[in-house]
Amino acid sequence: MPRNPSDGAARAASLDAVLDYAWTAGDFTAADVMDAVGVTRSTAIEATAALVGLGLLDELPNARDAGDYRMGRPARRFAFRPGAGILLGIDAGRTHLTVAVTDLAGTRLHTERRDLSDADDTRADRRRVIVRTIGSALRKAGVGRERVVALCAGVPAPVDRQGVSPRHPSGFWERMNPDLTELLAAWAPFVRVENDASLAAVAEGAMGAAVGCRDYVALLAGDRLGAGVVVDGHLLRGRHGGVGEMLAFDHVHDVEGASGLGHRAREWALDLIERGDLAADSPLRTTAPAEVDGRLVLELAAAGDPDALRIAARVGATLARVVSVLGSMFDPQRVIVSGAISAGIGMIVDTAREALPADMHLPAPEMVVSQLGDEVVVDGAIAGAMDLARRNTLDLWLARQNATED
């Protein structure tokens, strides 16, 4: 977006710096800006005044007006105005869709959730249901689409820097990411489409188990395995966005595929049921196969059921193999088991820690369970949208001001 030519490069840079500081600073004064941003007093005053004029900052009552009396002239106080715009964070999974509407500070105004069926699995159907759900979420949040500044969406497919997914032999990746960057450009000036595991890594680094960590892997471990990889503080993608894809595990002994931990627990439980290889009093004997899922198996294991414990140990051994390969490939400090299944996976992670091979050469990564649960991808999408907004909002507001003046 073009800048207002009367501002000058130096002033534009100072506005960017002050706005970035204000975004998370709470209330502040010009003196706080001087200390944090390293600008002169006159520049701090000019920048805050310009941002107030643009509607991106609010001027607050001064200390005396707020009842906090002080001798001398009270300092002018400012705060970022999160209601100046709207963000959208989207988790567009294979079987679910979540759209979160937030203000510019990431505070949720409304969250719309929808289960997806096979009827929603074509490219056209997914595009239609995503657009319909965004519109519904905005209406229920009570905000117009013209207020949306940035949008970030996560999909279960590799995604390159342009938001494009490569072709898949069965067309799965193209269905999961049906040209969303182009589709969603109608809903926000700034759009980012990412792999869902990559957004899980963004969330863990912003508010989860990887805060302050520069080398980590967020392992989405529900129905399918996916990894968001951060090395030296940078999210890795690769040429086609395939860094976190688990296709290589098709060729790893005792893993043999990218099926997630929950999926494996369910399949191994169903195998025991079919073969009748269960204790006489096992709850799995009286559970209908359609009701068996990974969460149930983990709940039974936590309750001490011997058959579920057998399955959990097998899943833990598989997780240990996966983590050992990721450790040798990326040398992370930490591997975070994330996603919906993470709520009941502590026992499996404990088993995996004990099962990690002793011959990894490199130190084994720490394994922890995410506390973000099934919101991890949409949390990462909100953080991704906020990052877009922080880098681009000033340009957008200045361009709108120029258009109004013209």
Q: What is the mean pLDDT of residues 291-298?
A: 88
- pLDDT tens, 29-48? 999 999 999 999 999 999 99
Q: Which residue type is seen at 225?
A: L
- pLDDT tens, 141-187? 999 999 999 999 999 999 999 999 999 988 899 999 999 999 999 99
Which pLDDT score, from 0 to 100, does residue 11 have? 58
What is the rounded CA–CA span in Å between residue 396 and residue 97?
Answer: 29
- pLDDT tens, 76-97? 899 999 999 999 999 999 989 9
Which pLDDT score, from 0 to 100, does residue 4 have? 45
pLDDT > 80? residue 357: no
pLDDT > 50? residue 3: no
Which pLDDT band, with edges at 50, 70 and 90, does 7 fall under? very low
Which pLDDT score, from 0 to 100, does residue 10 have? 53
- pLDDT tens, 55-80? 999 999 875 555 555 555 678 899 99
Q: Are strands 77-80 and 86-92 parallel, antiparallel or unpaired?
A: unpaired
Percentage of the chain modeled with pLDDT above 70: 92
Out of 16-30, 242-256, 319-333, 357-371, pick the least confident: 242-256
12, two tokens? 């534009």
Q: CB of 165 within 8 A of CB of 156?
A: no
Which pLDDT band, with edges at 50, 70 and 90, does 117 fall under? confident
What is the rounded CA–CA span in Å between residue 226 and residue 234?
Answer: 17
Which pLDDT score, from 0 to 100, does residue 260 have? 81
Phi, psi of 102 (to 5 degrees): -135, 165
Residues whose CB falls within 8 Å of the CB of residue 261, separated by 6 or more in sequence, listed in order: 221, 222, 225, 294, 315, 318, 319, 337, 341, 345, 348
Taking 3-state DSSP, the helix, strand and coil percentages for the chain, each rounded to the nearest 5, stand at 50, 20, 35
Q: Exposure of 359 by Cβ count < 10 A (0-12 exposed, 13-18 middle, 19+ buried)?
A: exposed
What is the rounded CA–CA span in Å between residue 221 and residue 272?
Answer: 22
Which range scores top for mean pLDDT: 37-41, 238-242, 291-295, 379-383? 379-383
Which pLDDT score, from 0 to 100, does residue 47 have? 94
Q: Which residue type is seen at 176?
A: M
CA distances from 152 to 112, 117, 228, 245, 377 (A): 15, 23, 16, 20, 10
Say what the pTM is.
0.90
Which pLDDT score, from 0 to 100, does residue 152 have? 98
What is the rounded CA–CA span in Å between residue 74 and residue 140?
Answer: 41
285 or 250: which leads in pLDDT: 285
Which domains are present in the chain?
A: 8-80 (1.10.10.10), 84-208+377-393 (3.30.420.40), 216-371 (3.30.420.40)
Q: CB of 206 within 8 A of CB of 383?
A: yes
Q: What is the mean pLDDT of residues 102-118?
A: 95
Out of 83-97, 231-245, 269-283, 341-355, pick the least confident: 341-355
Which pLDDT band, with edges at 50, 70 and 90, does 221 fall under? confident
Q: What is the mean pLDDT of residues 120-124?
A: 86
Phi, psi of 2 (to 5 degrees): -70, 150
Coil, strand or helix at 100: strand
Any idea what DSSP says for residue 359?
A: T
pLDDT > 90? residue 131: yes
Strand order in the sheet with 234-235: 234-235, 225-231, 216-221, 334-338, 366-369
Out of 59-73, 114-128, 386-400, pick the least confident: 59-73
Which pLDDT score, from 0 to 100, does residue 2 have? 40
Instruction: Select from 78, 176, 182, 40 the least CA-distant residue to 120.
Output: 176
Which pLDDT score, from 0 to 100, does residue 202 have? 97
pLDDT > 70? residue 376: yes
Which pLDDT score, from 0 to 100, does residue 5 have? 39
Cα torsion angle, 389, 390, 393, 395, sign: negative
Instruction: Select from 40, 380, 50, 346 the least CA-distant residue to 207.
Output: 380
Q: What is the largest CA-CA distance in the chain?
A: 84
